[in-house]
Chain A
């Protein structure tokens, strides 16, 4: 080999710490989501107030920051809805957001509401069932407060938990407007950093806060960062075999695949028996904003 060829500089693709498939420009996304909120709520529905359940986690914090930009802080009404076993830390983290943005807030303890059913009729309910009852109580509060305040409830679910079915059907997913639902959890963290969400909220392990010490990642058996790298490729058409061949752990791939494959029903409206050629959403097709 000649010396000039031997010393030819080589350029290779960079391997950034973040997965390029999950890359996003947080400035561009934030601007777009603010426009989305304004367009869907104000232009389309004539409603310029938002109601959000503020849990102390990163998803509802990011949603709140976006709404404060879209509608102004004074029109962004946040509600803390603790149950008897909710973590005081979550409550305190929500306070950081309230103080930082100067938001109108209210705390509505749902213990009496949930226990009116649970302790009276179902005192041996499992943690999962209690969690579902709480989520559905919170949904009732948010929708009623929205009616009272002439506001729209804004959803906070991200794409990872939607794809994993990690939510309570017709509860967390019920609000008519959701700005984060097409962003993976990893991307929500990026957006949170850009928006200035308090660091402690971004850094803490995500939790549904239903059982002491519970974390989302503990429930899944895989971290969000590893799951998102697999998930985004599954959705782009990679097969599990290709993912394993690429270098992902076989168990991780199976966790993600199974979560997605067993929860399609949660991403749809109820199954309706079709009897005619004008069945709604089968033959009779009109978009949601028609």
Chain B
């Protein structure tokens, strides 16, 4: 067991919970209006039985803002505060994960916050800042936001989670790092403008399905995906959110290009069962040190 991690003390017993993934079309740059709709959808998801609700990348503002990022960005604390004031109708705990443009002392980020919310307020459980910023073609992120510096798991009341945002998901190494660091569920949020209309479905949405299923079946993790919808200056976001089980099966799928609330039962016991049947992550852990050596050598060769 050369490179394997030691037993992780304090691991939570596997739980079952209900996850909701909400596809929304934000009103461009109108943060107050979007927070209101996000809160309404969160309350609705809770009343429908959700324990966790996930909103897409940049759901508080819309995605293509250019210099408007500075107008729409919120600090993580102010985001938690704004939602706290709008979630007083909650009758039981609800975890909310949502994408937003973050204002920090050192600059702006394309971030996702995990908030634990009750009627009395929201607390920040975790913050992920997008690591891979697409800056090519229609994308121009690195001009307006700063690159995040970390990918890894964190603990919440459902188990060990990790968050990835859009291009983070397109690099297989992101999910690999997340899984190696202990994640048993990945929350993958995105704002993906549709392109490629030759096949049975939109090309980049088909790619998302391949990516998410591949992540889940390789690492034995749940993947909870929420995709933005709506058009921004002619660029339409796909929707088609998916919840994928640790065997790589799509257990719930949202429609294309329509606002929608997707719900599914997530049984974290499935993680251990999937990993027993296909111990790829265990094999990977055993080879971690060798892989690091190879990565360093490959980087030097470049």
Q: Which of B15-23, B103-111, B174-182, B232-240 contacts A (4 or more CB under 8 A)?
A: B232-240
Contact of B64 among A29, A44, A287 (CB under 8 A): A287
Residues of chain B within 8 A (CB-CB) of A286 are: 65-68
The answer to whether B236 and A32 have CB atoms under 8 Å apart is yes
CB neighbors of A among B187-225 (8 A): 194, 197-202
What string of 1s and 0s marks CB contacts (under 8 Å) between A16-40 and chain B? Answer: 0000100111001100100110011
The answer to whether B67 and A36 have CB atoms under 8 Å apart is no
Asked, given contacts A24-B197, A25-B199, whether A39 binds B64 with beta carbons under 8 Å apart, the answer is: no
The answer to whether B232 and A287 have CB atoms under 8 Å apart is yes
Most chain A beta-carbon contacts within 10 A, residue among B29, B198, B233: B198
Output the least CB separation between B31 and chain A (Å).
Answer: 13
Asked, given contacts A286-B66, A287-B64, whether A25 binds B234 with beta carbons under 8 Å apart, the answer is: no
Residues of chain B within 8 A (CB-CB) of A29 are: 197
Contact of B233 among A28, A32, A35, A287 (CB under 8 A): A287
Contact of A287 among B25, B66, B201, B236 (CB under 8 A): B66
Q: How large is the interface on A (under 10, 10 to 19, 20 to 34, 35 or more residues)?
A: 20 to 34
Q: Tell me the bound Cα distance from A290 to B27 in angstroms.
A: 9
Residues of chain A within 8 A (CB-CB) of B28 are: 287, 289-290
Q: Tell me the bound Cα distance from A29 to B201 in angstroms.
A: 10
Q: Which residue of B lies closest to A29 (CB)?
A: B197
Output the least CB separation between A179 and chain B (Å).
Answer: 9
Q: Is B257 an interface residue (CB 8 A)?
A: yes
Output the least CB separation between B63 and chain A (Å).
Answer: 10
Q: Tell me the bound Cα distance from A290 to B65 in angstroms.
A: 7
The answer to whether A290 and B236 have CB atoms under 8 Å apart is no
Residues of chain A within 8 A (CB-CB) of B233 are: 287-289
Q: Tell me the bound Cα distance from A40 to B257 in angstroms.
A: 13
Residues of chain A within 8 A (CB-CB) of B201 are: 28
For the residues of B in contact with A, the DSSP-based class is loop
CB neighbors of B among A243-290 (8 A): 284-290
Q: Is B231 an interface residue (CB 8 A)?
A: yes
Q: Is A148 an interface residue (CB 8 A)?
A: no
The answer to whether B236 and A39 have CB atoms under 8 Å apart is yes
The answer to whether A290 and B68 have CB atoms under 8 Å apart is yes
Q: How large is the interface on B (under 10, 10 to 19, 20 to 34, 35 or more residues)?
A: 20 to 34
Q: Tell me the bound Cα distance from A23 to B200 in angstroms.
A: 12
What string of 1s and 0s marks CB contacts (under 8 Å) between B20-52 and chain A? Answer: 000001001100000000000000000000000
Asked, given contacts A286-B66, A287-B64, A289-B28, whether A36 binds B231 with beta carbons under 8 Å apart, the answer is: yes
Residues of chain A within 8 A (CB-CB) of B66 are: 285-287, 290
Asked, given contacts A36-B234, A39-B236, whether A28 binds B64 with beta carbons under 8 Å apart, the answer is: no
Q: Is A12 an interface residue (CB 8 A)?
A: no
Residues of chain B within 8 A (CB-CB) of A15 are: none
Q: Is A212 an interface residue (CB 8 A)?
A: no
Q: Is B99 an interface residue (CB 8 A)?
A: no
The answer to whether B230 and A284 have CB atoms under 8 Å apart is no
Q: Tell me the bound Cα distance from A287 to B28 in angstroms.
A: 10
Residues of chain B within 8 A (CB-CB) of A204 are: none
Residues of chain A within 8 A (CB-CB) of B231 are: 35-36, 39-40, 44
Q: Tell me the bound Cα distance from A8 to B162 in angstroms.
A: 49
Q: Tell me the bound Cα distance from A28 to B196 in angstroms.
A: 10
Residues of chain B within 8 A (CB-CB) of A36 are: 231, 234, 236
Q: Tell me the bound Cα distance from A286 to B71 in angstroms.
A: 11
Output the least CB separation between A289 and chain B (Å).
Answer: 5
Output the least CB separation between B143 and chain A (Å).
Answer: 8
Q: Tell me the bound Cα distance from A288 to B25 in angstroms.
A: 17
Q: Which residue of B lies closest to A38 (CB)?
A: B231
Q: Tell me the bound Cα distance from A163 to B88 in angstroms.
A: 54
Q: Tell me the bound Cα distance from A40 to B28 in angstroms.
A: 12
Output the least CB separation between B102 and chain A (Å).
Answer: 19
The answer to whether A284 and B67 have CB atoms under 8 Å apart is yes
Q: Tell me the bound Cα distance from A44 to B29 in angstroms.
A: 12
Contact of A32 among B198, B200, B257 (CB under 8 A): B257
The answer to whether B257 and A35 have CB atoms under 8 Å apart is yes
Residues of chain A within 8 A (CB-CB) of B65 are: 286-287, 290
Asked, given contacts A39-B231, A40-B234, A286-B66, whether A23 binds B25 with beta carbons under 8 Å apart, the answer is: no
Q: Which residue of A lies closest to B200 (CB)?
A: A25
The answer to whether A39 and B230 have CB atoms under 8 Å apart is yes
Output the least CB separation between B23 and chain A (Å).
Answer: 13
Q: Tell me the bound Cα distance from A207 to B22 in angstroms.
A: 47
Residues of chain B within 8 A (CB-CB) of A43 are: 25, 230
CB neighbors of A among B52-71 (8 A): 64-68
Q: Tell me the bound Cα distance from A36 to B236 in angstroms.
A: 7
Residues of chain B within 8 A (CB-CB) of A284 are: 67
Contact of B68 among A20, A25, A44, A287 (CB under 8 A): A287
Q: What are 14 A-B pairs at a CB distance below 8 A?
A: A28-B201, A29-B197, A32-B202, A39-B25, A40-B231, A43-B25, A43-B230, A286-B66, A287-B65, A287-B68, A287-B233, A290-B28, A290-B29, A290-B68
6 smallest CB-CB distances across A and B, nearest first, come from A285-B66, A23-B198, A39-B231, A285-B67, A288-B233, A289-B233
Known: A36-B234, A39-B230, A39-B236. 15 other contacts (CB 8 A): A23-B198, A24-B198, A28-B197, A28-B200, A32-B202, A32-B236, A35-B231, A36-B231, A43-B230, A285-B67, A287-B28, A287-B233, A289-B232, A290-B28, A290-B65
